[in-house]
Amino acid sequence: MIARNSILSHHEMCENEFGRMLQAGMHFRPNGRTSIFLMSTRSNAPYNDCIENEGRVLIYEGHDAKRNSVEGDPKTHDQPSRLPSDALTENGKFHEAAQAYKRQNAPAELVRVYQKLYPGVWAYNGNFRLVDSWREHDGTRKVFKFRLELVADQDQHVLTDEELTHSRIIPSSVKVEVYKRDGGKCVKCGRKDNLHFDHDFPFSKGGTSILAANVRLLCARHNLEKSDKIE
């Protein structure tokens, strides 16, 4: 499995999810595997996804009805929890999972989150727990909102306050700026595949994630070679 802060093409992202074609943004336990959210905070994004608490919390907006299931613009209709057949939509499935967790009837749903940086360019934001869901009025219609909290990469345990403080979170705006500045390639060798966002001055030694000046693109080989060394 890829590491958090990895950069992927759409094809690589699909391959990482066992070859599943990821077109829709919400995938509840596809083929019995871990659930998936595709998100975007770009200005032209179709949904109002938000990143809070320096990336440790995501507020993900549910998705609209399909065009062939409603009259006119789906953006004028409440986001549905059920299909005309009465089967649950992806909104409904995730909402039920979040409510089951709140009732302490089930553990929190684990969700892998990918974020769109540019057309065809995605970043893996990591594993999150789905801890809450609700419906709110956006001024036009009712939409679903889902709250997710970051968990540790390896064993899926919930991060403590100290771990949250020192987690390697790189804000979306910094990711976009760094990718553009470095030309979408490793600053060491120019490779354009297997890229990662790397802290120039190591995070473990006090380097910051919130300034583009301390973040750069490295390929997997140079990222591993560097480790926590200060160059």
225 has pLDDT over 80: no
Model pLDDT, residue 202: 52
Q: Which residues contact 162 (CB under 8 A, 6 or more apart)?
A: none
E strand or H helix at 211, and its extent?
none
Question: How many C-beta atoms lie closer than 10 Å to residue 105's C-beta?
Answer: 8
DSSP letter, residue 62? -
Bridge partner residues of 224 (DSSP): none
Q: What is the pTM of this model?
A: 0.83
Distance CA 146, CA 163 (A): 23
pLDDT in tens, 2-26: 888 899 999 989 988 888 888 889 9
Question: What pLDDT sits at residue 169?
Answer: 67
Q: State the average pLDDT over residues 19-42.
A: 92
> Quick one: average pLDDT of 54-80?
92
- In tens, the pLDDT along 118-159 reads 998 999 998 999 999 999 999 999 999 999 999 865 444 454
For residue 17, the Cα-to-chain-centroid distance in whole angstroms is 14
pLDDT of residue 43: 87
pLDDT-based confidence at residue 182 (cuts at 50, 70, 90): very high
What phi and psi, each to the nearest 5 degrees, are found at residue 41? -115, 15
pLDDT at 121: 92
Q: What's the angle, vertex CA 30, arms to CA 63 and CA 97, rounded to 5?
A: 60
Q: How many CB atoms lie within 10 A of CB 188?
A: 17
- Return the pLDDT at 87: 96
The CA distance from 196 to 138, in Å, is 36
Q: Are strands 26-27 and 109-118 parallel, antiparallel or unpaired?
A: unpaired
Q: Is the pLDDT of residue 228 over 50?
A: no
Considering the chain, tell me which residue range(s) the CATH 2.30.280.10 domain(s) occupy.
6-168
- Rounded percentage of the chain residues whose pLDDT exceeds 70: 84
Give the right CATH number for 6-168 from 1.10.10.10, 2.120.10.30, 3.20.20.110, 2.30.280.10: 2.30.280.10
- Residue 134's contacts (CB-CB under 8 Å, 6 or more residues apart) are 144, 145
